[in-house]
């Protein structure tokens, strides 16, 4: 076999193996873990559910993530947008929800976030006053995090809904679904 033909065949075989194993994805320039490090995002360990539900469910090539609350090193992020929280504070709370979504997704994928093909949908619920109208800007905290990690495949069909109350007084809650390899 000619040298050029050998390397062409070897490259095609390696690419095929990567596609079949789910190691190839839409992201370029490194793994998702490297991108997270570049963004300064630390994915926490999964927190156990506090009620009668599971944190994630895998069905075929889809992973459905239960509603994630905004929590971080200092505990839950509580408040009501339009009352005692600014849009920027809400954005940071939704970003914290996104980080917790990543934790659940990582658990569902045995630690391999490179298996994500795309984010299909996110639904954001924002604890807000009747006259607050920037729910979409709050939920951008999660949407932009996922976009910054996966590029266009991280953008999802989405809803950003205001509600008068959420459990434990949390500022927001975000649910997500992903196609995976």
User: Do residues 124 and 157 make contact, with C-beta atoms less than 8 angstroms apart?
Assistant: no
The confidence band for 1, taking pLDDT boundaries of 50, 70 and 90, is very low
Q: Which of 24, 31, 33 is nearest to 117 (CA)?
A: 24
CATH number of the domain within which 58 lies = 3.30.1330.40
Q: Of 4-18, 25-39, 162-176, which one has max mean pLDDT?
A: 162-176
2 is a domain residue? no
Q: Average pLDDT of the chain?
A: 87
98 is a domain residue? yes
* pLDDT for residue 19: 36
Q: Of 28-37, 47-56, 78-87, which one has max mean pLDDT?
A: 78-87
Q: Work out whether the CA dihedral 121, 145, 96, 91 comes out positive or negative.
A: negative
Structural domain boundaries enclosing 83:
25-180
* pLDDT for residue 47: 81
User: Do residues 77 and 96 make contact, with C-beta atoms less than 8 angstroms apart?
Assistant: yes
155 is a domain residue? yes
Mean pLDDT, residues 123-127: 98
Query: Which ranges constitute the DSSP H helices of 40-133?
Result: 87-108
Percentage of the chain exceeding pLDDT 90 = 79
Contact partners, residue 179, CB within 8 Å, separation at least 6: 61, 62, 116, 117, 118, 120
15 is a domain residue? no
90 is a domain residue? yes
Question: Using alpha carbons only, how large is the chain's radius of gyration in Å?
Answer: 19
Structure-token match 């970003």, residue found: 95
68 is a domain residue? yes
Mean pLDDT, residues 168-181: 98
Instruction: Report pTM.
Output: 0.83
31 is a domain residue? yes
* pLDDT for residue 49: 86
Task: Say how far apart CA 105 and CA 22 lie, in whole Å.
Answer: 15
**Structure confidence by residue, pLDDT tens digits, 82-113:** 999 999 999 999 999 999 999 999 999 999 99
Per the structure, how many domains does the chain have? 1
5 is a domain residue? no
């Amino acid at each position: 076999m000619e040298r050029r033909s050998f390397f062409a065949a070897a490259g095609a075989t390696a690419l095929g193996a990567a596609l079949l194993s789910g190691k190839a994805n839409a992201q370029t320039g490194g793994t998702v873990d490297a991108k997270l490090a570049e963004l300064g995002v630390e994915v926490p360990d999964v927190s156990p559910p506090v009620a009668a539900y599971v944190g994630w469910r895998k069905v075929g090539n889809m992973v459905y993530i239960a509603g994630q609350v905004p929590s971080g090193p200092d505990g839950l992020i509580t408040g009501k947008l339009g009352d005692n929280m600014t849009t920027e504070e809400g954005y940071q709370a939704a970003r914290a929800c996104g980080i917790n979504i990543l934790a659940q997704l990582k658990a569902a994928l045995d630690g391999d976030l490179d298996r994500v093909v795309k984010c299909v949908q996110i639904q954001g619920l924002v604890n807000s006053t009747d006259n607050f109208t920037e729910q979409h800007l709050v939920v951008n905290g999660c949407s932009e995090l996922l976009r910054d990690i996966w590029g266009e495949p991280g953008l999802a069909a989405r809803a950003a809904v205001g509600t008068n109350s959420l459990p434990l007084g949390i500022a927001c809650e975000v649910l997500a679904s992903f196609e995976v390899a």
